[in-house]
Amino acid sequence: MATVQQPTRISSPSRSHFRNEPAVDFTRPENARAMREALARVKSELGREYPLVVGGVEMKTAKKITSTNPAHPAEVVGVHQKAAAEHVQLAMDAALDAFESWRHTPVEDRAALIQRTAALVRERKFEFGAWMVYEVGKNWAEADADVAETIDFLEFYSREMLRLAAVEPPVQLPGERDRLRYIPLGVGAVIPPWNFPCAIMAGMTAAAIVAGNTVILKPSSESPTIAAKFFEALVEAGMPEGVVNFCPGGGGDFGQMVVEHPNTRFIAFTGSREVGLGINEAAAKHRAGQVWIKRTILEMGGKDAIIVDSEANLESALDGVVASGYGFQGQKCSACSRLILDERVYDAFLESLAERVKQIKVGDPLENAYMGPVVSESARKGILKYIEIGKKEGRLLAGGNAIENPEGGYYVAPTLIADVDRNARIAQEEIFGPVMAVIKARDFDDALAIANGTQFGLTGAVYSQNPEKLERARDEFHVGNLYLNRKCTGAMVGAHPFGGFNMSGTDSKAGGPDYLLLFLQAKSIAERLR
């Protein structure tokens, strides 16, 4: 009898070797059946109301946040409380109180909590994926990748904290016992995005608390339900009250007040450039009663480019460009929104690419269409506005329109615009949708100049069979995550520490060996021996 694909399990909370969570193969009938069963179970829970949870106390508010299915906007996924000004001090007091005991909790116990949570998410892998299909319109593979990355973050950070707890200074002076101890910062605000509503939310939260901090978690208003499910898993795994305080709310009021609070020690944020810069500015201002310089961990936008060189394997490049530009409707900060083609392959590659883009299946993610809806009506309006700008700035080869359907989903056709000037708006401004601008380069020098010619520096890719050109890209393509002869999306925890340069953020390198240090401070202790 066929069995559902199960991921590799790690036996016990330890510093044992980290392994990435394998992807589910949905071409196997038993896995497709398991996913449909999970979708049916989740459907039976749609519309449930979730409380605000502060210090373990469940609360309700007069104002609500209603999360809906972007493919079927009349369908309510979850109803959430809306934290407001009166909840800021309550959440801060709960987090401060919990910090006094949590920071002294042995590292092994904190790591064990995170690994127990990973085990729960792994057991409910299909259900967690199903929630994202409903709440943000991910197809099955995209949702599964999000859950797998969630598990990876939990497993990786728990092991990294155990490693850091065992660090010793490189030098022991004669007659002294010298130690280096990494200690937590305090109370932090975690403000995640909606596009990776489980992985990034869980990764930032887990990193903060495994390091010994406590958290006020303000999930995106577009995706609070999957955050609630993760919070429930933390509680089930044995998280003490107040270590994470679940507070959906508005970014302009509740979120801003938490950022500005003098007792907030750090802010971990992933989102737009504009909001990230606002957080950075607010955090830099000293407030009465504040005794530290606040730390900001910011992952912001991108205007990512793929260079296809004249010496590239064009079929491989075609696959990577399509996956990078249109996977999850282009709603990734790492998505390819600029395609830079050497003029010697420009026409032939464009012809093949346009045909591929026109063949992309757009439909209901419940049925596992390659492309589903964008996340909201406001997102669709913004994308369509950029498409109209793009029609004036280049030559429309595919898409260029909204797709209407009886259910009212927020669909946009995959769009390809050629002959775009390197300084055009659609070549410079983040669109966050299924829109790709194609720019012609004279040669590889010109291609690199175009690629580096934005305020961002998150991801990029180069397709070329010329080793010298690849070496130049390693040195000269100024992005935090560079990929050679592969797509520019799909960073893997442990292998591809993720974070960008310039206006793409503080280069946090999530999923890498440096990340937890952002949530810690180093205390040097020297004892003279008699």
User: Could you give the residue numbers annotated as active site?
Assistant: 299, 333
Q: Residue 296: how many CB atoms within 10 A of its CB? A: 22
What span, in angstroms and rounded, lies between the C-alpha atoms of 449 and 447? 5
As given in the structure block, the two tokens for residue 139 are 């197809």
Which residues, in sequence order, are CB contacts of 28 under 8 Å at separation 6+? 2, 5
What span, in angstroms and rounded, lies between the C-alpha atoms of 400 and 412? 8
As given in the structure block, the two tokens for residue 114 are 């995170």
As given in the structure block, the two tokens for residue 189 are 């605000």
What span, in angstroms and rounded, lies between the C-alpha atoms of 59 and 80? 10
* Among 113, 296, 297, 98, CA closest to 210: 113
What span, in angstroms and rounded, lies between the C-alpha atoms of 526 and 173? 9
Residue with tokens 């659609």: 426
Helices (H), 401-500: 425-428, 444-451, 467-476
Which residues, in sequence order, are CB contacts of 36 under 8 Å at separation 6+? none
As given in the structure block, the two tokens for residue 213 are 């901090």
As given in the structure block, the two tokens for residue 467 are 């080793």
> DSSP characters for 345-367?
THHHHHHHHHHHHHT--B--GGG
Buried b (16+ CB within 10 A) or exposed e, 1-30: eeeeeebeebeebeeeeeebbeebebeeee
Query: Are 523 and 181 within 8 A, CB to CB?
Result: yes
What span, in angstroms and rounded, lies between the C-alpha atoms of 235 and 280? 31
Query: Are 436 and 415 within 8 A, CB to CB?
Result: yes
Q: Identify the sign of the CA torsion 148, 153, 156, 159.
A: negative
Q: What are phi and psi of 5, to 5 degrees?
A: -60, 130
> DSSP characters for 251-275?
IIIIIHHHHH-TTEEEEEEES-HHH
Query: Are 290 and 214 within 8 A, CB to CB?
Result: no
What span, in angstroms and rounded, lies between the C-alpha atoms of 479 and 142? 24
Per DSSP, the three-state class of 131 is: helix
To which H or E segment does residue 232 belong? helix 224-236
